[in-house]
Structure 1
Amino acid sequence: MTAPNSNWWRGGVIYQIYPRSFQDSNGDGVGDLPGITRRLDHIAALGADGIWLSPFFKSPMKDFGYDISDYCDVDPLFGTLADFRALVDRAHALGLKVMIDQVYSHTADQHPWFQESRASRDNPKADWYVWADAKDDGNPPNNWLSIFGGSAWQWDTRRRQYYLHNFLTSQPDLNFHCPEVQDAVLGCVKFWLDFGVDGYRLDVVNFYFHDRLLRDNPGRGMPDGSDPAVSPVNPYAWQWHHFDKSQPENLVFLQRLRALVDQYPDTTMVGEIGDDDGLARVAEYTSGGDKLHMAYCFDLLGEPHSAPYLHGVFTRFNQVVGSGWPCWAITNHDIPRVATRWGGANPPMGLLRAAAALQLSLRGTACLYQGDELGLPEAQVAFEDLQDPYGITMWPDYKGRDGCRTPMAWEAAAPDLGFGAAGSNVKPWLPVSESHRALAADQQAGDPASLLSHYRQLLAWRRGVPALIHGDMTLLPVHPQVLAFVREHEGQRMLCAFNLSVAPAEVALDGAGTVQFDPWGVLFAPT
């Protein structure tokens, strides 16, 4: 039986928290669940509807929590189940929903499932992971590549077979063609739903299934750097990924997953999709009301952000996705911060204000990443301080993801920007960025002209404009500087226009006549 759903997420605003870097409560240099609980008031005051917590489950931390060794327990580094209960209760008391990040395409190699699977070819979990014999010459079974570099296959001496890993060698891929794996994963989903979470962010949701025949991916030639999900220095971008992900069987499992989630009131799921054609997968995975509630791909997570580029993205979205529901993010824990990515070394405040207004005006759900509301630039992390295995492997032409993961800037006067526990002299797991000091939350909170105040005012105003939350979106003609569209809901029409350039602009807009825009100018006008 389907439980009632308030659709709180539909047009809502979700605030992503990277737990390691949000707030350290016990002085060990790593953020934790009690620290998050302490700072929830900041998110509530911002005006968000819910939070998304990156993984806090038991893990050897080779990929900082995205390598899970127990799906149903908290890693001691972050606290306890009781700490998570306190977090959920406090969030709910503040009117915030709680979504958790689940990584089901792969586990840690220390997960008991994998330890049993690799022990022999005939144990009860022998088929729970993707195992394959070597070719006659000893090479891996096909040409699939790991996103983190090299072959996606790792030799295991116990089974004398290769196992698949789309990421680190310590992150073996589960075999979703095995019914027992699907059942076990759904059991983990149910555990947290019974605990009281309000939804899931599903990591690499299109990676669950692989081609049974293990066919080679076709080549695509030299990468042009157009895919923001993959560094152009990474050979992963040299293939069309037809067979190692986005398989048709995935849709059937997502229907099983949705049927379970729908038994719990007011719950939702958002999927991360990394694919050669991300918008097509968003359409496929959110269509029909029986799979994901919403999904996001990487079209707004690259460097291009001109009005014509964005017009092209949204035009294709309307053509391909139709009634499917997107979740728009312009920064997250895997991508350089938007202030630097779009604004360069000295990002104009006008650009950041315009980017916020644009993101919060689109049809769909908005996902903010911690520090977006402060305008934090990408941190520069020295090689000796790097933690990200991806960045260490690809250095120096790709510096990894640490630059967007440095500790949150809470207090400008504190040595560690207020991230650490009071009185602690422990060095944070990543160095704080001095470029963030003047942008700390306590400096911006009382300044009506600050970016933080802009976000708060924008979110408060947006709540009273149904067209921006529920409305359809109609693009106006493409313009070299100005992106413009109309949001409409039950007779309310709101014209939204954004000058995404450093130069003044003049443009004739339907319902508003000829409008003069300052650099980075924004217009909201009922029509």
Structure 2
Amino acid sequence: MATEAKAADANWWRGAVIYQIYPRSFQDTSGDGLGDIKGITQRLPYVASLGVDAIWLSPFFTSPMADMGYDVSDYCNVDPMFGTLADFDEMMEEAHRLGLKVIIDQVISHTSDRHPWFIESRSSRTNAKADWYVWADPKPDGTAPTNWLSIFGGPGWEWDGVRKQYYMHNFLISQPDLNFHNPDVQEAMLGTVKFWLERGVDGFRLDTVNYYFHDKQLRDNPPMVYDTDGAGMETDTNPYSMQNHLYDKSQPENIEFLKRLRSLLDTYENRATVGEVGDGPRSLTTLAIYTSGNDKLHMCYTFDLLGPAFSAGYIRRILTTVQDTVTNGWVCWAFSNHDVVRHATRFIETPEEQDRVAKLSVTLLSSLRGSICLYQGEELGLTEAELSFEDLRDPYGIRFWPAFKGRDGCRTPMVWDAGAPHAGFTSGSKTWLPVPGEHASRAVDAQESLSDSVLHHYRAAIAFRKSHPALIDGDMTFLETNQDLLAFIREKGGEKLLFVYNLTREPQSFTLPKRMGDVLPVSLPGFQSSRIEGGVVALDALDVFCGRV
């Protein structure tokens, strides 16, 4: 029994529910309008009340904040705007006291251009860190070494007049890419990971995990050829998607580095990694490679469910592709995060169905095979905030305005108290992003008093998931349906649960397979409208049926 308990502790991440906190927008305790680590500590009892297993903190490291902390200038310290290392240690202690694991963002594909490493690297071609970043000579005509593009718009290379070379940047010009072909770089980055492991963090969310290595030969990317449905294509907004990114990311050398990273984590007890894979049409294949064999990443997530599609046909295609591709790895699912439009906006057709869609979404997410990530505020059913150009802080949104409004709409402050100034986020006179009035009316205190609120439904859905072992890591088998319905069975040991989802705005029916035998309805939090009679399940619009087989 002791051995089983130890194995369970080591596998805490498998099937876990992870709550993402965006520190800048969670809770301000200093009155400066910016969230801080003390604010996270203050609100941890609320997070624990949701029933989640872990928190994931977006970056809080020392940074010039050109990309809201994803441009790191010191990996082993807390930016003063968020607090101190002592504040972090207090937050860790409180999280663990409440039974919450702590996962932190690790942004190691690139640094800030103000990082001491880059300042030294650009100073000459012969210094000790000259090869720590991706430098290359121009072509004879002075143009960039390759045709690689930046996700944030424009070329993926920037000329530096001191070294008289170009340096590579997948993101902002102020975010130069590290050269992972250099063993010293790998050692330095593993050292930053070890620093936080020693402080007791339970895991790492690895930002842009497939971007660490580039093609040594500096070959040009070919054009992208999309399949007939053009899924994910955004060429009207960002030409980055017009290239097939064969050479600027997802290189084979990355696999060996991930093995080194896993070996480091395995020297500590019960630690885990979740990788962010952005690899276009190849994302699921890359995910499968990175999580296979129990010697690389513990789990990964992709952007496949972070788009506008909320249909049975699309979701089934993604889920079945994962099952066929990720045969011995593990996936982490999410409908929202800090980089995409909130799903309460993406998935609804009319404002009246906002709560219904929010509840159905988390019920669906909670019944999937894999771990799941929830993004702060989605448990309140928050929609994307409408911001003016003058309010924007996101460099990506500013760059592509007005075709794309950026990521600030999902990053507005968390709402705690409907009647307080700034909905209880800060005692100061202003906030770094506005607090929308429609968000304030959905604040935590307002929803706590409503028995049928989205907040209470999230708690119930998470509790339902955790009370059924089949939903944590059981098998998942899909049943044949029309394209309007999503039906599957989750099974582990003697437990076998049937789920049928109607994601349309019209009533639907599902005929149980004759071989299935008797199906006993199971009370599913928030959904009692579906019914079964004569082997046929009748579902209302945006409805779900659960039964024990």
Q: Settle same-fold status: TM greater than 0.5.
A: yes
Q: Percent identity?
A: 57
Partner SS, residue 258 of structure 1:
helix
- The answer as to whether partners of 1:497 and 1:524 remain within 8 angstroms in 2 is yes
Partner SS, residue 210 of structure 2:
helix
- The answer as to whether partners of 1:225 and 1:232 remain within 8 angstroms in 2 is no
Aligned counterpart, 1:303: 308
Gaps of 5+ in 2: 1-5, 520-534
- The answer as to whether partners of 1:487 and 1:495 remain within 8 angstroms in 2 is yes
Aligned counterpart, 2:122: 118
Residue number among 409, 428, 431 corresponding to 2:431 in the alignment: 428
Aligned counterpart, 1:99: 103
Pair 1:482-2:504 in alignment: no
Hey, what's the Cα distance between the residues in 1 that align with 2:227 and 2:472?
Answer: 38
Residue number among 394, 400, 408 corresponding to 1:402 in the alignment: 408
Residue number among 82, 88, 92 corresponding to 1:84 in the alignment: 88
Partner SS, residue 494 of structure 1:
strand
- The answer as to whether partners of 1:147 and 1:230 remain within 8 angstroms in 2 is no
- The answer as to whether partners of 1:219 and 1:238 remain within 8 angstroms in 2 is yes
Partner SS, residue 493 of structure 1:
strand
Hey, what's the Cα distance between the residues in 1 that align with 2:438 and 2:354?
Answer: 15
Aligned counterpart, 2:525: none
Pair 1:367-2:373 in alignment: yes
Aligned counterpart, 2:472: 469
Amino acid at match of 1:491: G
Alpha-carbon deviations, 1:234-264, whole Å to 9, x = none?
0001001011000000000000000001111
> Which stretch shows the higher mean deviation, 314-323 or 383-392?
314-323
Aligned counterpart, 1:521: 543
Aligned counterpart, 1:141: 145
For 1:2-41, what aligned pairs fall within 5 Å after superposition? Answer: 5-41=9-45
Length-normalised TM-score, structure 1: 0.97
Aligned counterpart, 1:213: 217
Partner SS, residue 462 of structure 1:
helix
Hey, what's the Cα distance between the residues in 1 that align with 2:546 and 2:403?
Answer: 41
Pair 1:495-2:517 in alignment: no
Aligned counterpart, 2:332: 327
Amino acid at match of 1:321: V
**Deviation of 1:402 (Å):** 0.3
> Which stretch shows the higher mean deviation, 205-214 or 493-502?
493-502
Aligned counterpart, 1:381: 387
Alpha-carbon deviations, 1:78-117, whole Å to 9, x = none?
0000000010000000000000001000000000000000
Hey, what's the Cα distance between the residues in 2 that align with 1:453 and 1:27?
Answer: 30
For 1:424-463, what aligned pairs fall within 5 Å after superposition? Answer: 424-425=428-429, 427-463=430-466
Pair 1:62-2:66 in alignment: yes
CA pair 106-223 structure 1, distance change in 2 beyond 3 A: farther
Hey, what's the Cα distance between the residues in 1 that align with 2:193 and 2:147?
Answer: 33
Alpha-carbon deviations, 1:159-213, whole Å to 9, x = none?
0000000000000000000000000000000000000000000000000000000
- The answer as to whether partners of 2:92 and 2:201 remain within 8 angstroms in 1 is yes
Q: How many pairs does the alignment contain?
A: 522
Aligned counterpart, 1:507: 510
Amino acid at match of 2:310: H
Aligned counterpart, 1:279: 284
**Deviation of 1:56 (Å):** 0.2
- The answer as to whether partners of 2:148 and 2:248 remain within 8 angstroms in 1 is yes
Length-normalised TM-score, structure 2: 0.93
Pair 1:164-2:186 in alignment: no
Hey, what's the Cα distance between the residues in 1 that align with 2:333 and 2:213?
Answer: 25
Residue number among 256, 259, 271 corresponding to 1:255 in the alignment: 259
Hey, what's the Cα distance between the residues in 2 that align with 1:501 and 1:321?
Answer: 29
**Deviation of 1:482 (Å):** 1.4
Residue number among 181, 185, 188 corresponding to 2:185 in the alignment: 181
Alpha-carbon deviations, 1:430-475, whole Å to 9, x = none?
0011121221111111211011101111111221100000201111
CA pair 108-519 structure 1, distance change in 2 beyond 3 A: same
Hey, what's the Cα distance between the residues in 1 that align with 2:257 and 2:99?
Answer: 32
- The answer as to whether partners of 2:103 and 2:205 remain within 8 angstroms in 1 is yes
Partner SS, residue 511 of structure 2:
strand
**Deviation of 1:476 (Å):** 1.1
- The answer as to whether partners of 2:224 and 2:244 remain within 8 angstroms in 1 is yes
Amino acid at match of 1:453: H
Pair 1:313-2:335 in alignment: no
Hey, what's the Cα distance between the residues in 2 that align with 1:500 and 1:360?
Answer: 16
Amino acid at match of 1:76: P
Partner SS, residue 284 of structure 2:
helix
Alpha-carbon deviations, 1:135-167, whole Å to 9, x = none?
000000010000000000000000000000000
Residue number among 349, 358, 365 corresponding to 1:352 in the alignment: 358
Hey, what's the Cα distance between the residues in 2 that align with 1:81 and 1:390?
Answer: 30
- The answer as to whether partners of 1:222 and 1:238 remain within 8 angstroms in 2 is no
Aligned counterpart, 1:243: 247
Alpha-carbon deviations, 1:269-288, whole Å to 9, x = none?
00000002111111010000
- The answer as to whether partners of 2:354 and 2:381 remain within 8 angstroms in 1 is no
- The answer as to whether partners of 2:215 and 2:247 remain within 8 angstroms in 1 is yes
Hey, what's the Cα distance between the residues in 2 that align with 1:222 and 1:49?
Answer: 38
CA pair 230-100 structure 1, distance change in 2 beyond 3 A: farther
Hey, what's the Cα distance between the residues in 2 that align with 1:455 and 1:430?
Answer: 26
- The answer as to whether partners of 2:235 and 2:242 remain within 8 angstroms in 1 is no
**Deviation of 1:479 (Å):** 2.2
Aligned counterpart, 1:413: 419
4+ residue stretches of structure 1 with deviation over 4 A?
221-232
- The answer as to whether partners of 1:224 and 1:232 remain within 8 angstroms in 2 is no
Aligned counterpart, 2:298: 293
Hey, what's the Cα distance between the residues in 2 that align with 1:301 and 1:118?
Answer: 37
